[in-house]
Amino acid sequence: MKSRQMVWFVALMTIVLSVALGAQQPQRQFFLLYEDHVKPSMGDAYEASIKDMNKALAEAKASAPVFEMMAFTYEDFATYCYLTPIPNYAALDAMEPEWMKVSEKVGKERWKKIMEANAPTTDGFTQMVVEYLPALSYIPAAPRLKASEMPYFVDYYYYVVPGKESEFKDLAKQFAALYKSKGISNGWNLYQIVVGESLPLFVVGHDAKDALDFAEWDKKDTVAMGNEGQALFAKVLAVCRKVEARPGSWRPDLSYHVPPPEPAKK
């Protein structure tokens, strides 16, 4: 993973999020999505470098929110992703200084070795800002599985026709209502890419135990929705340029969670 020294990108995100977050809507949740494009033949070396970096962060007791990274991988043997919550746009300004600060705390020589081990394993990286849209997602009252029981997922990327974003969101709301009316126990989450490429772009994430579990229940849910579901999905396709399915897995072994604050001394 690169050290995120992209001043122009942080500046752009600051402008976008200052507008989005300036409306004082605490229910909105944004994430920085960082994607490493790994050479397929060097996956093991890449993962070793990330684990070494996380170990160094833990030893340095890196506790700033910018270090919170929830990792996941897609099944293309090349895409490793990290989600970092963004509470407000001020957090973006803090990213580069915090990474520079922790590299000094880890030790310049050790940090250099970690970066040198990581560098030849990748072909580049991409950064995006993602907004979670809970009001347009489907959260069942009684989920079939707990979050801890669903390490597998399938993300559907909906590349929407420019100008059709509102229509797509309305269709998502209708789909959520249909799922609820049928009592379906499998939920899904809707995200919108706020800053990135190929916009407008929405992502619908479905979690499951594994590929077989997903396929089995996806078929059952499709049957349960019947003709209503088919007609609604046809409307979704009509406002999209392209739809892409991307299966993957959550990677707690590559994630880093900031330690809880130490209790105040009496």
pLDDT of res. 27: 60
Q: Are strands 189-195 and 201-208 parallel, antiparallel or unpaired?
A: antiparallel
pLDDT of res. 4: 40
- 168, two tokens: 């797509």
Mean pLDDT of the region 46-58: 98
Query: Which one is the CATH code of 7-131: 3.20.20.120, 3.40.50.10490, 3.30.70.100, 3.40.50.970?
Result: 3.30.70.100
How far are the Cα atoms of 28, 54, 115, 157, 210 from residue 204, in angstroms, in the given order? 17, 29, 33, 7, 17
Mean pLDDT of the region 148-170: 98
Higher-confidence residue of 251 and 93: namely 251
Q: What's the pLDDT tens digit per position in 92-120?
A: 787 899 999 999 999 999 999 999 999 99
Which of 12-26, 93-107, 163-177 shows the lowest mean pLDDT across its residues?
12-26
pLDDT of res. 5: 38
Alpha-carbon torsion, ordered 24, 30, 32, 35, to 10 deg: -160
CA dist., res. 263 & res. 193, Å (int) = 37
pLDDT of res. 171: 98
CATH architecture of the region 133-249 = 2-Layer Sandwich (3.30)
Domain boundaries, the chain: 7-131, 133-249
- pLDDT winner (highest mean) among 25-34, 91-100, 252-261: 252-261
CA dist., res. 22 & res. 43, Å (int) = 40
pLDDT of res. 93: 80
- 48, two tokens: 């070793």
For residue 133, what are the contacts with CB-CB under 8 A and spacing of at least 6? Answer: 169, 172, 190, 191, 192
Domains 7-131 and 133-249 share a fold: yes
Mean pLDDT of the region 171-182: 98
Question: What pTM value is reported for the model?
Answer: 0.88
CA dist., res. 71 & res. 69, Å (int) = 6
Higher-confidence residue of 152 and 28: namely 152
